[in-house]
Structure 1
Amino acid sequence: MFDLRGIAVSTRSAEALAATERALWRMMSFYGTPVDDLLAAHAADPAWPLPLVMHAGFLLSLTEPSLVPEARALLDLAEPMIARANHRERDHIVALHTLLAGDWHGACREWEALLLHEPRDALALQWAHLFDFYRGDAVQLRQRVARVLPEWSEADPLYPYALGQYAFGLEECQLYAQAEATGRRALAGGAKVPWAIHAVAHVMEMQGRYLEGGAWMTQWQGDWAEGNGFSGHLGWHQALFALEALDHAEALRLFDAHLHADPAQITLQRLDASSLLWRLQLVGADVGARWAGLVEGWDLSDHAAGIYPFNDLHALLALIGAGDLTAAQDWARRVALQAERSGGSNRAVARDVGGPLMRGVLALALGRFDEAIETLYPVRALASRFGGSHAQRDLIDQTLLAAAVRATDRAVGRALLNERRLGKPETPLTDHWARRLGLRHARAA
């Protein structure tokens, strides 16, 4: 049998295959969880390993330490079925074992090998794209999709989702006009493609088109706000446009609508909430008791520390925001210790990037503004290794600007303001930092 893209599968159950196709669509569209579909696929063909492998990979893609044991158990269940699996399915198992060992770079190499032999392997593309994003590898976000997209049929139901991935990769490589056109094209056929909406929102964010960006998010709200696992992140983008306008009330309204604390949230869903509250607090907004609600239920155990520096920093921001500097300092210490012990591919990132970022943020929280700048500014050039997008890593610049306002030497603040004036000229947030730095009348060329 073959899937919808002509890739051989080792099942003979049409029911199982159809269920995995639904699960794959859910992974790429973020509509609903794929778990029920994968359980149905496994029930239809209990000897086919791919549904178990897809389930394990989905859990690992959430970067949630508490889900790792379940993912490992699923791979263990698939192990006796390997003899029946075809070569591609076995290679997917190898990739996930590599991921499970903490080697994100190695897993991406495994998925790349799969894509070289089968460019229409949507599962390999989806996971590689996510982990390119987590690793902050902008070039691969674009080029990995570019290496396979011409071989996809535009009639494939998943084609708009692959096109949305390409749009985001283009944006992260700062090819803004091409990214926006590609994202709009992905949406033109009527498919609900939150990743493409997201790609165009990133373009508008990076260009300071905050009024247009807010309107864009409202225009497409029906395609992302309800029943979609990506709604929190897209709500965050909408709130960033409000923040750029210095509309604190609207940003907080959007926080409450899309990012409000829920003890059942996994870490990935908490990051945007932490980032938004931090940015709002940097510009003097009163965020009320929202920090305390965010910290509640956040997994801050030792087994959660040091896995992914991007997550670790956002947990630190939440602890600082909640006013618990003792817990924040303890978290930073445990993260450094656990990252060094982990042996995963993120160990060097934690040492070279994550650790200095956490120390710099703590320095700001402790009122040591010169130290914050001295610690944060050098690591800014390495920040892409930290993961996330340009828009997410702008948090570092916002923190540096806030430190520069109260530092002995404002040279770094002036330099960052100059960058911002060329990228986002004349936005209310840019003018806010100019006023705070006493540079209100300096204008970009």
Structure 2
Amino acid sequence: MTSDLALKSALPFSDIRGVPVSYRDRGAIEGLERAILMSLSFRGDAIAEIDAVLAEHPDFMMGWLFKAGWLTQAMETRVYDTMLDCLAQSERLLAGCNDRELGHYEAVMAWVRGDFFDAVQKWEAVLTRYPMDLLALELIHYTMVLLGDVPGQRDVVARVFNLWDESVPGYEFVLGFYSFGLEENRDFARAEELARQALAIRPDNPYAVHTVSHVMEMRGRQAGGIRFMRDHAATWGTSNFANHLWWHTGLYHLDLEQYDAVFEIFDTHLDSRHKDGHKYEELDAAALLWRMNLVGQDTGDRWTHLAAKWEPAAQDTLYAFNDVHAMLTFVSDGRDDAQKALLSANERYLQDASDANAAMTREIGLPFCLAMQDFKNEDYKGCVKRLLPIRYMTYRLGGSYAQRDIIGWTLLEAALRAREFDLALALANERTGIKPTSAQNWRAVARAFEGLGDKGQADRATAKAQSLIAA
């Protein structure tokens, strides 16, 4: 953790890692560091912290750029006016800025134009020149997760990783970023090693916990995952990212058919009816409930309040990943008008859009939204027809493998309900090959064999699922 001694021993007008800052006030630079630390650790309110700094130092350009940069990760239209105000404040200070600050400014400018990929390139140029710019690294890595750039999540850290060590403040967060990039690129052993190294330095590092949770999910280590997550839950804090870690915990219980535990997690940690609610929290809630529907669990009235939270954003067309989760709630709660509004808005948007989200919407977002309508309307063949051609392109939607698996699972369940048992068996076999310790995957194999009339194979698959649950 950053110490006061480290802050005082840094260069006069640079941050604690030696990255230059044009504003000549040590107190402002220390305040920025506190805000960055909050964003990295998902502790406290980074925006409130930097607002307090800016109230005292309104000409602190890097403070305005941090605020704008951190708000990009919300992927919500509600923050755009604030981002534009931050850019306006930064613009009046351009004459006295350095090249690092100019790069951050240009990156956020690209972002608000909708060119997320150009924003990443601008931030990457900053990081290449200043490899200790932890803010640039953070924003690039998180944005690559949002955009589904799987190799980039790893490689952006690899380009600077050898220049970092434990003597540089924030090294534990760099380990966390690198470990997650390695996990998404299926280098599970090294990913877990680096994540646990990060936790040894800082036990309350939620992003390192996140990597381990992904490794255990992808490797099908459900029982170990539950123990690990429960052991670390006290260190997560109460941010929306903590809710995401509870979502991961719910996936382990779901795989083991421990449905009461899944609902307990939802009702205790993901139910936002008594909270202000932000999209990150509501994404996880919708994704978990849809999975529970896929396994035939009655979710009661939980969809109703969740759909009400999403309905004001039905026509945002800002980020396809948000749109598909909104659609999950609309179809599940039977909100026909909200479905029509979302689809119409996206169709109008695609007529002349050329920003980064257009391709995400056209190739994956809109087909999945329509497939969800098919599924809810029991047109399972139509659902299969929409999803089968895109199942290997889903990374273009953004998010992680674990999050995007909702598409593959919906496709498999639709194939089973459409009585396309040859296809269902192929898809189920594909899933057991990737994660053979999943009871849910073996249940699907059994249902496919049963549909094909092979009772012996169906019984063997069922026995495999039961043995996994008993273990």
Q: Give a deviation string over 1:405-425, Cα, whole Å, max 9, x none.
A: 111422331122111112221
Q: Which residue of 2 aligns with 1:20?
A: 32
Partners of 2:75 and 2:437 in 1: CA distance: 38
1:135–1:431 Cα change, 3 Å: same
Residue number among 91, 102, 106 corresponding to 1:90 in the alignment: 102
Aligned amino acid, residue 422 of structure 2: A
Is 1:271 aligned with 2:295? Answer: no
Does the Cα contact within 8 Å between 1:164 and 1:186 map onto a contact in 2? Answer: yes
Aligned length: 442
Provide the residue aligned with 2:381 in structure 1: 370
Deviation at 1:432, TM superposition (A): 2.4
SS in 2 for 1:220: helix
Q: 1:243 aligns with which of 247, 254, 271?
A: 254
Structure 1 segments, 4+ long, off by >3 Å, are: 299-303, 339-342, 441-444
Secondary structure (helix, strand or coil) at the match of 1:296 reads: helix
1:75-114 alignment to 2 at 5 Å?
75-114=87-126
Quote the offset at 1:301 in angstroms. 4.4
**TM-score, normalized by length of structure 1?**
0.96
1:165 aligns to 2:183 (yes or no): no
1:226-375 matches, within 5 Å, as 226-262=237-273, 264-301=276-313, 304=316, 306-375=317-386
Distance 1:144 1:244, change over 3 A: same
1:153-188 alpha-carbon deviations (Å, 9 max, x no partner):
312331111110101000000111111111111101
Q: Does 1:73 align with 2:85?
A: yes
Question: Matched residues in 1 for 2:248 and 2:194: separation?
Answer: 19
Shift of 1:339: 4.2
Classify 1:329/1:442 alpha carbon distance in 2 versus 1 (closer, same or farther; 3 Å): farther
The residue identity in structure 2 corresponding to 1:375 is R
Would you say the 8 A contact 2:240–2:281 is kept in 1? no
The alpha-carbon deviation at position 302 of structure 1 amounts to 6.2
| TM alignment of 1:170-209, pairs within 5 A | 170-209=182-221
- Alpha-carbon distance change, 301 to 192 in structure 1, aligned in 2, over 3 angstroms: closer
Partner of 1:429, secondary structure, is: helix
Distance 1:327 1:47, change over 3 A: closer
Q: Is contact 1:417–1:434 with CA below 8 Å preserved after alignment? A: yes
State the shift of 1:268 in Å. 2.1
| 2:451 aligned with 1:440 | no
Q: Distance in 2 between matches of 1:426 and 1:89?
A: 49
- Deviations along 1:329-361, one digit per CA (max 9) or x if unpaired, are 442232232244443111122111111111112
Residues 436/329 of structure 1: CA separation in 2 closer, same or farther (3 Å cut)? farther
Residue pair 2:315, 2:345 contacting (<8 A) in 1 also: no
Query: 1:174 & 1:123 partners in 2: Cα distance?
Result: 26
Q: Give the structure 1 partner of residue 401 of structure 2.
A: 390
**Cα distance in 2, alignment partners of residues 96 and 376 from structure 1:** 34
Residue 43 of structure 1: how far off its partner (Å): 3.0
Equivalent-residue separation in structure 2 for 1:71 and 1:45 (angstroms): 18
CA distance in 2, matches of 1:302, 1:232: 23
Gaps of 5+ in 1: none
Measure the CA separation in 2 of the matches of 1:432 and 1:328. 32
Quote the Cα distance in structure 1 between the aligned partners of 2:313 and 2:54: 33
**1:39 & 1:378 partners in 2: Cα distance?**
47
- How far has the Cα of 1:426 moved from its partner? 4.0
- Please state how far the C-alpha of 1:326 moved relative to its aligned partner: 4.4
Q: In the alignment, is the contact (CA less than 8 A) between 1:198 and 1:234 conserved in 2?
A: yes
Q: Which moved more, 1:35-44 or 1:92-101?
A: 35-44
Alignment of 1:409-428 (within 5 A): 409-428=420-439
Shift in Å, 1:61? 1.3
1:135 to 141, 147, 151: 147
Q: Which moved more, 1:408-417 or 1:201-210?
A: 408-417
Contact 1:64/1:268, CA 8 A, preserved across alignment: no
Task: Specify the alignment match of 2:469 in structure 1.
Answer: none
- Rg larger for: 2
Instruction: Between 415-424 and 39-48, report the one with greater CA deviation.
Output: 39-48
Q: Relative to structure 1, is the Cα distance of residues 11 and 341 closer, same or farther in structure 2, using a 3 angstrom cutoff?
A: same
Report the alpha carbon displacement of residue 310 of structure 1 after superposing the two structures with TM.
0.7
> What is the SS of the residue equivalent to 1:83?
helix
Structure 2 CA distance for aligned equivalents of residues 402 and 8 of structure 1: 54
2:422 matches 1:404: no
Counterpart AA for 2:430: E
* Aligned counterpart for 1:154 among listed residues 146, 166, 174: 166
Name structure 2 gaps, 5 residues minimum.
1-12, 451-456, 465-471
Deviation at 1:325, TM superposition (A): 3.6
Q: 1:48 to 1:326 in 2, by over 3 A?
A: closer
Q: Structure 1 residues 307 and 250, CA, compared in 2 at 3 Å: closer, same or farther?
A: same
**Structure 1 position 303, deviation (Å):** 5.2
Residue range with higher mean Cα deviation, 420-429 or 399-408: 420-429
- Whether the 8 Å CA contact 1:55–1:74 is kept in 2: the answer is yes
Which amino acid letter does the alignment assign opposite residue 44 of structure 2? G
Q: Which residue of 1 aligns with 2:454?
A: none
Higher helix share: 2
Name the CA shift for 1:340/1:186 in 2 (closer, same or farther; >3 Å): farther
Report which structure shows greater RCO (CA 8 Å, sep ≥6): 1
2:315·2:341 contact (CA, 8 Å) conserved in 1? no
